[in-house]
């Protein structure tokens, strides 16, 4: 009888609060903790997306047999003691399919820019004519293509390690909620499953990016 009375009381309170657009206090913790798991998942997804984009950008710097401005994206120049991306301190153009031109805004940095390009391990030889730097893009040899493929795989693996680290961090946070009694075991497992699905999806995206770049490198 007492249980029936208590049930009726709770039902009446819930109905009253819903009519006044209020949330029953005894329901709030469960909803909040569910939101916490969703927030962890969303944050992890955003971080993973950034890792995939980083892989995309790094792959774009690996040159093929054609000239593209992205080839120089990883080049950094020591400018007054600060490592500065080349594309922030110079105009980079593609006058032909086999040549790049680099014109620093500050002409006094021509020597530093030339040195930075040489030391970037891009397999490129800059030619400084005193006004701008011209870079001829040589045809890739078989050995050079193999080196490029190794770079592609290394960039991909680095990205996948980052993805897995994000997954581990997210799962650890969900487990802490369960350990603290803030969510149940089922909610924890759901969170882990969702994190694994995200990981598999992003790893696949990286594999596709690497595969596409490898095909580009091997195209003669």
Q: Mean pLDDT by 10-residue block, N- to C-terminus, for the chain (220 residues)?
A: 42 48 45 73 96 94 78 89 92 89 93 91 87 87 87 96 97 92 89 95 97 86
pLDDT value of position 37 = 87
Q: What is the pLDDT at residue 220?
A: 58
Q: Is 140 helix (H, G, I), strand (E, B) or coil?
A: coil
Asked if the domains 20-61+142-218 and 69-136 are classified in one and the same CATH topology, the answer is no
pLDDT at 123: 78
Instruction: Give pLDDT, residue 140.
Output: 77
Query: 32 with 61: CB under 8 angstroms?
Result: no
Q: Phi, psi (5° rounding) for residue 92?
A: -115, 125
The CATH homologous superfamily to which domain 20-61+142-218 belongs is Ribosome-recycling factor (1.10.132.20)
Q: What is residue 34's predicted lDDT score, i.e. its pLDDT?
A: 58
pLDDT at residue 26 in the model: 43
Q: What is the pTM of this model?
A: 0.67
Query: Which residues share a beta bridge with 128?
Result: 133
> How far does the chain reach from its first CA to its final CA, in angstroms?
84
Spatial contact of 167 and 201, defined as CB atoms under 8 Å apart: no
Residue 199 CB partners (closer than 8 Å, separation 6+): 48, 163, 164, 166, 167
What is the rounded CA–CA span in Å between residue 68 and residue 104?
17
Pairing of strands 82-85, 76-79: antiparallel
Q: Which letter does DSSP use for residue 87 in this model?
A: G
What pLDDT does residue 213 have? 92
Q: CATH assignment of 69-136, given 3.10.310.30, 3.30.1360.40, 3.90.1200.10, 3.40.50.2020?
A: 3.30.1360.40
Residue boundaries of the structural domains of the chain = 20-61+142-218, 69-136
Q: What is the pLDDT of residue 171?
A: 95
């Amino acid at each position: 009888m007492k249980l029936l009375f208590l049930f009726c009381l709770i039902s009446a309170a819930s109905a009253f609060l819903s009519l006044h657009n209020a949330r029953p206090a005894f329901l709030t913790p469960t909803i909040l903790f569910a939101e916490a798991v969703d927030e962890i998942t969303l944050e992890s997804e955003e971080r993973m997306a950034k890792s995939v984009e980083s892989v995309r950008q790094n792959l774009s710097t690996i040159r093929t047999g054609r000239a593209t401005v992205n080839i120089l994206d990883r080049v950094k120049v020591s400018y007054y003691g600060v490592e500065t991306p080349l594309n922030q301190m110079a105009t980079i153009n593609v006058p032909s399919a086999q040549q790049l031109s680099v014109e620093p805004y500050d002409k006094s940095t021509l020597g530093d820019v030339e040195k930075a390009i040489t030391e970037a391990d891009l397999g490129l030889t800059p030619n400084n004519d005193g006004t701008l730097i011209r870079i001829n893009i040589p045809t890739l040899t078989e050995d050079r293509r193999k080196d490029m493929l190794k770079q592609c795989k290394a960039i991909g693996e680095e990205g996948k390690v980052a993805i897995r680290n994000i997954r581990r961090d997210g799962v650890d946070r969900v487990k802490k909620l369960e350990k603290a009694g803030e969510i149940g075991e089922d909610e924890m497992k759901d969170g882990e499953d969702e994190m694994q699905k995200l990981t598999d999806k992003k790893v696949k995206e990286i594999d596709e990016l690497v595969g596409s770049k490898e095909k580009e490198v091997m195209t003669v």
